[in-house]
Amino acid sequence: METAVLDRLHTEEFLVNMGPQHPATHGVLRLILKMDGEQVISVTPDIGFLHRNFEKICENRTYPQIMPYTDRLDYVAAMTNNWAYARTVEALMKVEVPKRAEYLRVIFGELQRIASHLVFWGCMGGDTGAVSPFLYGLRERERILDLFEMTCGARLTVNYYRIGGVSKDLPAGFHEKAKAFVKYFKPKLKEYAELLSGNVIFQKRMKGIGNLSQNAALALAVSGPVLRGSGIRWDLRKDEPYSVYPELQFEVPVGERGDAWDRYLVRFKEMEQSLQIVEQALDQIPPGDLLAKIPKVLRPPKGEVYVRTECPRGELGFYLVSDGSTKPYRIKCRSSCFVHVSALPEMLDHKGHLIADAVVTLGSIDIVLGEVDR
Amino acid sequence: MIANLVGRIYAFLLGLLIRWGLPRPVFDFGAMIVAGFVVAIFIALVVLYLIWMERKVSAHIQQRFGPMWTGWHGWLQTIADAVKLLMKEDLTPTNVDKAVFLTAPFVVFVPSIMAYLVIPFSATWIVRDLNIGILYIFAITTLVVIAILMGGWSSNNKYSLLGGMRTAAQIISYEVPLVLSILGVVMLSGTLSMNGIVQAQGKWPWQWYWLPQILGFLIYVTAATAEVNRTPFDLPEGESELVAGFNTEYSGMKFAMFFLAEFANMFLVAAIATTLFLGGWQPFTGLLGFICFMIKSMAVVWLLMVFRWTYPRLRVDQLMDFGWKILVPLSFVNLFATSLIMVLRK
Amino acid sequence: MWPYISGIIKGFWSLLVGMKITVPYLGRRAITIQYPKQKMEMFEAFRGRLALARDRETNKEKCTGCQLCAKACPSACITVTQRKDEEGKRRSEVFEIGMSLCCYCGLCVEACPEDAIVWVRDYEYSVYDRKQLLVDKPTLEAIWRNSLSQFKKEEFNEKVA
């Protein structure tokens, strides 16, 4: 009887535009939601509002000059972007990075991972309505950014890595401050697990939302925590190890169902693992050079290379085509967030989710528009 | 002491005006208007203070300072905000339903002011001690839904419409556990009159109804948070989703009215909670009783504020689930247990 | 039936735990500072503002006009021309930095062989007139002179030596 009544009730689907300016889309992203009443039928992301021509600009800059531009791709996790780019050029030039520089790279890469996941954690709280976790997360991140500022002078656009190593050595007092941070942060993670992860309202908002099955995850080429949240154990640091990761002990957390809750938990646990890595690296770091012996004017040999790095948001890959001159012929940046945005319809369409769930799903894939649009 | 003063001014004015030939009903009417004004000014001052308190509480929970520059520790901030809102351009979008759009902000204030007339601020400080006090309050506060629906519908905006409808559903469904939870109190005190309920509670904190009616108290606080649209039930104003819900199209003074009405309502439910569960103005009377009452109400408001800054918000269907499937059965359990114990006591 | 009741109890408990974390913050001191009245001093390595240094003892210009900084800059915001001074040494004639183009990456500071272009830990230099963002050589040297009061002498010599 109900369906007969509903069929005769003339209901229409309407389009809701979560426009480029919106408090919940993490940047300038436009989502066109087709709704039936309260339920979302389909979502179409509209991107490009932050396109800044990164790849074209790179064709007119020398290799060292491109480094500051990579800071601004995924601006929440600048260190790992630098690292991804440096590795790409080093792979083409077959440069061996000194041990101390590798350890420094790992320390700062993992600290950046913690900082980036803190932003995610805070924004997840903010998207679901709890505002205080946002401020707590950013307060902890301040300490990590202080560590960055001590070393390289900037907090967000760090420009720390160089092709062949890193640019500056650790300043005096860094070890003490970093160790103090590790000691301070471990119990805080437990506290934050109680505040947000343990909260029944938060769990209800996140569990069962935005499911991404294993097959869909593989088919859509998602990576990083989104892939691991769907139950596939694939971490470039373990499966295609680079730098000194083989010498460090850590685990890779994996989710089960591929819903927003699993992705959240994977990132939360990754913070704990990164803390462990930082601790080990601080103990194991050897003295040595900071930069490999490379010529001042870099002229990589002709050829092309694709190198991918595990960034906090997923797999950031740089495809570099060199024609033997000081400037690259073509750089293509394969960004993880771009792929994740295209996975949004798979997570939301025809599942009976409401707008609130769309916001939560968008938050759980943790995109940064700088990387989506480049 | 103050009650004495007021009584003497009243008697003096009564004598004066009767000598001038004013009929008694007109005088009574004038006295009621004055009382209404006093209540309205009181509400305005309380709301002023509450907005400042909210900003400070939220700031300190987040380890920052909040307003510090406008006056000592920012106490003038609310006035600065009010002046700013007055100076803002009062936009009326073109296709709105003008009459409804313009009156909604005022309609949202009227039920709160009407409900304040029966709150016992102290033993004799009550505008009108109706013998159906509680019933009157719950009947009147439901009218807020009309104002919100008016705001949402007339704005000619999909977001506002969604927000208004959600609010209506939320408020109406949380009225049920709200009223059911206080029935235990009504049974224990044997009267619907607000002053009567306060007097039925004893002088000591353990005699007040929050202890024998602990379940009712918790249900009341939860349902009251939902009634005033505060997190975790603030979906209508869900900033993360619909920008501001039914508030989206309002700017300037009209928005200020909605904003102030939210705080007035918040204090109202806190005052009702104080009266029903925390012993109202007990154990003191007169001015001291008033201060006691205010401290207790502010504590309940403080609790509501801590809720807002600690918890995430519920999705609309989870909200309805929670109201109907958890709060309503629990309030029935409370009612049943209370009546059982009362019968067994006899 | 039991999952229903235990769900309510567990949920209620988790809410109380949440409050246990946020409420103590009301008693703790806030960690922000009241900016114009209290200011923070930046770290030594801080990339604040660019300046042209001179030798502290002889007060001779350090910059030789070699243009390595201009070549290193990704934003092409430095303009340098060379001249010869009285002793025949190479010095710079024009030295302009477009601070609105500069991306504060520090590649110029790294590239300079004489440590002539340096970072100064200043961060309060916003202007009302956009023309003031194109800083010329006298301004850059003035920035450096003003900054000397910020450092202790030993730190400064270490940095610039």
In C, which residues are within 8 Å of A195 by CB distance?
17-18, 21-22
Integer-rounded Cα radius of gyration of chain A: 22
Residue A275's pLDDT is what? 93
Residue B200's pLDDT is what? 86
Tell whether B10 lies on the interface with A, counting CB pairs under 8 A.
Answer: no
Contacts (Cβ under 8 Å, ≥6 apart) of C133: C98, C99, C100, C127
Pick from A249-263, B114-128, C94-108: least confident? B114-128
Superfamily of segment(s) A55-373: Cytochrome-c3 Hydrogenase, chain B (1.10.645.10)
Per-residue pLDDT of B160-206, as tens digits, reads 777 788 788 888 899 999 999 989 899 888 888 888 888 888 888 88
Residue C149's pLDDT is what? 65
Partner chains of A (3+ C-beta pairs under 8 Å): B, C
* Tokens 């010599």 belong to residue: C157
Region for A172 from its dihedrals, namely left if φ exceeds 0, alpha if ψ lies in -120 to 50, beta otherwise: beta
Query: What is the Cα–Cα distance from A314 to A338, expressed in whole angstroms?
Result: 10
Tell whether B323 lies on the interface with A, counting CB pairs under 8 A.
Answer: no
How would you write A27-92 as a 3-class SS string? CCCEEEEEEECCEEEEEEEECCCCCCCHHHHHCCCCHHHHHHHHHCCCCCCHHHHHHHHHHHHHHH
Residue A8's pLDDT is what? 62
Residue C95 DSSP SS3: strand
pLDDT at B294 over 60: yes
Asked, for residue C89, whether it belongs to a domain, the answer is yes
Contacts (Cβ under 8 Å, ≥6 apart) of A175: A282
Pick from A10-19, A299-308, B303-312, C56-65: least confident? A10-19
Residue B345: which H helix or E strand, with range? Answer: helix B328-345
What interface predicted TM-score (ipTM) does this complex get?
Answer: 0.83
Query: What is the Cα–Cα distance from A7 to A1, expressed in whole angstroms?
Result: 10
Residues 19-48 of C with CB under 8 A from B: 19, 21-23, 25-26, 28, 30-32, 34
Residues A84 and A307: beta-carbon distance below 8 Å:
yes
Mean pLDDT of B301-324: 87
pTM for the predicted model, two decimal places: 0.88
Structure tokens that stand for A135 in this block = 């401020």
pLDDT at A88 over 50: yes
Residues A278 and A264: beta-carbon distance below 8 Å:
no
Nearest CA of chain B to the CA of A243: how many Å?
39
Of A64, A157, A194, which is closest to C107 when you measure between CB atoms?
A64
* Tokens 């460090």 belong to residue: A248
Size of interface A-B (CB pairs under 8 A): 74
Integer-rounded Cα radius of gyration of chain C: 26
pLDDT at B282 over 60: yes
Structure tokens that stand for A285 in this block = 């770091």
In C, which residues are within 8 Å of A66 by CB distance?
74
Contacts (Cβ under 8 Å, ≥6 apart) of B13: B27
- DSSP label at residue B128: -
Mean pLDDT of A341-366: 88
Domain count, chain C: 1
pLDDT at A201 over 90: no
Asked, for residue C142, whether it belongs to a domain, the answer is yes
Per-residue pLDDT of B205-224, as tens digits, reads 888 888 888 899 999 999 99
| A314-322/A330-334 β-pairing | antiparallel
Quickly state the pLDDT bin for A1 (edges 50, 70, 90): very low
Q: How many residues does chain B have?
A: 346
Residue A37's pLDDT is what? 73
Structure tokens that stand for B143 in this block = 């009218």
CB atoms within 10 A of CB B7: 11
Tell whether C8 lies on the interface with B, counting CB pairs under 8 A.
Answer: yes
In one letter, which amino acid is A340?
Answer: H
Per-residue pLDDT of A214-255, as tens digits, reads 999 999 999 999 999 999 999 999 999 998 899 999 999 999
Asked, for residue C30, whether it belongs to a domain, the answer is no
Quickly state the pLDDT bin for B127 (edges 50, 70, 90): confident
Residue in B328, B270, B229 with CA at minimum distance from that of residue B115:
B270
Tell whether C104 lies on the interface with A, counting CB pairs under 8 A.
Answer: yes
Domain boundaries, chain A: 55-373
Tell whether B37 lies on the interface with C, counting CB pairs under 8 A.
Answer: no
Query: What is the Cα–Cα distance from C32 to C19, expressed in whole angstroms?
Result: 22
Query: What is the Cα–Cα distance from C75 to C97, expressed in whole angstroms?
Result: 10
Size of interface A-C (CB pairs under 8 A): 69
Asked, for residue C36, whether it belongs to a domain, the answer is no
Query: What is the Cα–Cα distance from B238 to B230, expressed in whole angstroms?
Result: 10
Query: What is the Cα–Cα distance from B209 to B216, expressed in whole angstroms?
Result: 9
Query: What is the Cα–Cα distance from C22 to B307, expressed in whole angstroms?
Result: 10
pLDDT at B252 over 60: yes
In one letter, which amino acid is B209?
Answer: Y
Mean pLDDT of B140-151: 86
Of B65, B306, B326, which is closest to C32 when you measure between CB atoms?
B65
Please report, to the nearest 10 degrees, the dihedral formed by the alpha carbons of residues A278, A153, A142, C126 taken in order.
Answer: -170
- Asked if the Cβ–Cβ distance from C74 to A139 is below 8 Å, we say no
Per-residue pLDDT of C7-22, as tens digits, reads 888 888 888 888 888 8
CATH label of the domain that carries residue C82: 3.30.70.3270
Query: What is the Cα–Cα distance from B106 to A325, expressed in whole angstroms?
Result: 72
Of C21, C72, C107, which is closest to A195 when you measure between CB atoms?
C21
Q: Tell me which chain A residue has its CA closest to the CA of residue B311.
A: A130
Which of B225, B231, B306 would you mutate first to test chain C, the one with the most C CBs within 10 A? B306
pLDDT at A120 over 70: yes
Mean pLDDT of A134-143: 90
Average pLDDT, chain C: 84
Asked, for residue C94, whether it belongs to a domain, the answer is yes
How would you write A115-162 as a 3-class SS string? HHHHHHHHHHHHHHCCCHHHHHHHHHHHHHHHHHHHHHCCCCCCCCEE
Residues A108 and A160: beta-carbon distance below 8 Å:
yes
Q: Which domain holds residue C141?
A: 49-160
Residue B217's pLDDT is what? 92
Per-residue pLDDT of C135-156, as tens digits, reads 888 888 888 888 776 554 444 4
Residue C154's pLDDT is what? 44
Q: Which residues pair with C52 in a beta bridge?
A: C117
Structure tokens that stand for B245 in this block = 């819900």
Phi, psi of B76 (to 5 degrees): -85, 5
Phi, psi of A298 (to 5 degrees): -85, 125
Residue in A222, A213, A197 with CA at minimum distance from that of residue A351:
A213
Residue C161's pLDDT is what? 32
- Asked if the Cβ–Cβ distance from C18 to B330 is below 8 Å, we say no
In B, which residues are within 8 Å of C26 by CB distance?
57, 60-61
Of C45, C47, C104, which is closest to A171 when you measure between CB atoms?
C45
Nearest CA of chain A to the CA of C86: how many Å?
32
Angstrom CA distances, C23 to A203, B62, C135, stand at 21, 10, 50
Structure tokens that stand for B4 in this block = 């004495």
pLDDT at C160 over 60: no
Q: Which residue has the higher pLDDT, B235 or C55?
A: C55
Residues C119 and C50: beta-carbon distance below 8 Å:
yes
Tell whether B299 lies on the interface with C, counting CB pairs under 8 A.
Answer: no
Is the preceding peptide bond at B283 cis, omega within 30 degrees of 0? Answer: yes
Query: What is the Cα–Cα distance from B96 to B272, expressed in whole angstroms?
Result: 36
Residue C49: which H helix or E strand, with range? Answer: strand C49-52
Residue in A143, A365, A165 with CA at minimum distance from that of residue A275:
A143
Mean pLDDT of A127-155: 89
Per-residue pLDDT of C68-112, as tens digits, reads 999 999 999 999 998 888 888 888 888 999 999 999 999 999 999
pLDDT at B245 over 70: no
In one letter, which amino acid is C54?
Answer: R
CB atoms within 10 A of CB A280: 19
Query: What is the Cα–Cα distance from B45 to B300, expressed in whole angstroms?
Result: 18
Nearest CA of chain C to the CA of A36: how many Å?
31
Contacts 24+ apart (CB under 8 A), B327-330: B327/B174, B327/B177, B327/B219, B327/B222, B327/B223, B328/B176, B328/B177, B328/B180, B330/B177, B330/B215, B330/B219, B330/C8
Residue in B331, B345, B342 with CA at minimum distance from that of residue B183:
B331
Residue C54 DSSP SS3: strand
Q: Which residues pair with A308 in a beta bridge?
A: A317
Cα angle, residue A43 at apex, residues A37 and A44 outer, rounded to 5°: 140
Tell whether B328 lies on the interface with C, counting CB pairs under 8 A.
Answer: no
Q: Which residues pair with A306 in a beta bridge?
A: A319
Residue A103's pLDDT is what? 93
Residues A280 and A205: beta-carbon distance below 8 Å:
no
pLDDT at A132 over 80: yes
Based on the number of CB atoms within 10 Å of its own CB, is A343 exposed (0-12), middle (13-18) or buried (19 or more)? buried
Per-residue pLDDT of B256-273, as tens digits, reads 888 888 889 999 999 999
| A165-166/A161-162 β-pairing | antiparallel
Structure tokens that stand for A322 in this block = 């060199």
